[in-house]
């Protein structure tokens, strides 16, 4: 009975993971949320499945996470998949650049950066380290961090994406942490992998945006389309999670995935019917979209198809475009709701 723990499972991408994974009655699916009672009521009303368990936990509360581990140990002696989906996106810093934010409120910028790092980086590091003993008892051993294309340094630099800086910085740091975990635990057969969900449209929250903010989003989406001309627009949470699940199922520690950060050019390609079997994130996507040359000299990461033999570790390719909304956040940005 494969087991999954999903953080931020009360709504958004997290709840969609809960819904899709629990559709298979042989899966044991555990959601980690801040409000256990409300999520249990939602699950009972909307899903009505007996292979779902809900535990309480808060990324920014170390003792809360320790208690969550104890609760999960009472449910299962080992954990096959840890999906670190929960995050925080600040609405305050979502639509201005660092210079503008610093000029407007330097103390506010400091607080915003610390809040983003505390949840998206430190909280997830604590989550992973506390659940590692359960992961190590598994035969599958997969730790997946849901990250963002907004942490793609090449995309930021080449297309002048200034907005969402604290969130982007915290997720770039999380990507580095995933690579560091992989460097430490790959020898134990544990897969650590960062995945971007793509630009996900959940529709809510757009009425809260100012006209200036809406114009900024439209400009960034246009830049995204320039980067990947075959892109057909945002995908739904259902599509995004379905694509992510496919990658999670195929990914293996000895096939080039270890410590990788796979960007949302994969969901874009899948959304346009590119054959998902060859996981070659540079050649396949270039064939489909002919993206602009890299602005800076980062090495590409070509991942082998699932039936290819293992290869030596390669340099990582940064992720591509994205939006603060597609993040599995614990808070709402002005354009999209996020998971708890």
96, 338, 91, 337: which is closest to 216 by C-alpha?
96
157-160 contacts, C-beta under 8 A, 24 or more apart: 157/295, 157/296, 158/227, 158/292, 158/294, 158/295, 158/296, 159/223, 159/226, 159/227, 159/321, 160/223
- Structure confidence by residue, pLDDT tens digits, 307-338: 333 333 333 333 333 333 334 433 333 333 34
Give pLDDT, residue 233.
73
- Structure confidence by residue, pLDDT tens digits, 3-24: 999 999 999 999 999 999 999 9
Give pLDDT, residue 219.
73
Structure tokens that stand for 28 in this block: 């044991």
Question: What's the whole-number mean pLDDT along residues 113-132?
Answer: 98
Give pLDDT, residue 198.
82
270, 276, 278: which is closest to 239 by C-alpha?
270
Q: What confidence tier does 209 reach under pLDDT thresholds 50, 70, 90?
A: low
Instruction: Tell the CATH topology of 3-289.
Output: Rossmann fold (3.40.50)
Q: What confidence tier does 214 reach under pLDDT thresholds 50, 70, 90?
A: confident
Q: What confidence tier does 155 reach under pLDDT thresholds 50, 70, 90?
A: confident
Q: What confidence tier does 221 reach under pLDDT thresholds 50, 70, 90?
A: confident
The residue with tokens 């670190």 is 84
User: CA dist 123 to 75, 114, 142, 150, Å?
Assistant: 23, 12, 18, 19
* Contact status, residue 267 vs residue 198, Cβ threshold 8 Å: yes
By annotation, the residues acting in catalysis are 167, 171
Is this prediction's pTM over 0.75? yes
Average pLDDT across the chain, whole number: 79
Give pLDDT, residue 202.
55
Q: What confidence tier does 249 reach under pLDDT thresholds 50, 70, 90?
A: very high
* Contact status, residue 74 vs residue 130, Cβ threshold 8 Å: no
């Amino acid at each position: 009975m494969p087991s999954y723990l999903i953080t931020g499972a009360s709504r958004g991408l997290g709840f969609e993971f809960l819904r899709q994974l629990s559709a298979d009655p042989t899966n044991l699916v555990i959601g980690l949320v801040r409000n256990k009672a409300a999520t249990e009521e939602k699950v009972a009303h909307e899903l009505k499945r007996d292979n779902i368990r809900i535990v309480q936990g808060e990324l920014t509360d170390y003792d809360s996470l320790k208690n969550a581990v104890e609760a999960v140990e009472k449910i299962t002696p080992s954990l096959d998949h840890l999906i670190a989906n929960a995050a925080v996106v600040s609405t305050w810093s979502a639509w201005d650049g660092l210079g503008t934010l610093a000029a407007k409120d330097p103390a506010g910028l400091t607080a915003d950066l610390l809040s983003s790092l505390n949840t998206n980086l430190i909280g997830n590091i604590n989550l992973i380290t506390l659940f590692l003993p359960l992961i190590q008892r598994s035969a599958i051993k997969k730790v997946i961090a849901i990250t963002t294309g907004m942490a793609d340094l090449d995309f930021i630099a080449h297309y002048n994406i200034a907005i969402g800086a604290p969130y982007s910085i915290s997720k770039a740091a999380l990507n580095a942490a995933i690579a560091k975990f992989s460097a430490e635990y790959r020898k134990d057969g544990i897969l650590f992998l960062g995945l971007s969900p793509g630009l996900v449209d959940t529709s809510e929250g757009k009425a809260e945006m100012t006209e200036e903010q809406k114009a900024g989003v439209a400009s960034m989406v246009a830049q995204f389309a320039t980067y990947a001309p075959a892109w057909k627009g945002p995908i739904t949470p259902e599509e995004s999670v379905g694509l992510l699940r496919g990658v999670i199922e195929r990914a293996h520690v000895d096939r080039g995935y270890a410590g990788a950060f796979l960007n949302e050019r994969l969901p874009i390609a899948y959304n346009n019917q590119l054959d998902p079997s060859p996981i070659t994130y540079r050649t396949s996507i270039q064939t489909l979209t002919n993206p602009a040359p890299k602005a800076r000299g980062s090495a590409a990461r070509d991942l082998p198809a699932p039936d290819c033999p293992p290869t030596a570790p390669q340099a990582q390719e940064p992720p591509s475009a994205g939006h603060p909304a597609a993040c599995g956040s614990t808070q709402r940005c002005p354009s999209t709701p996020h998971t708890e």
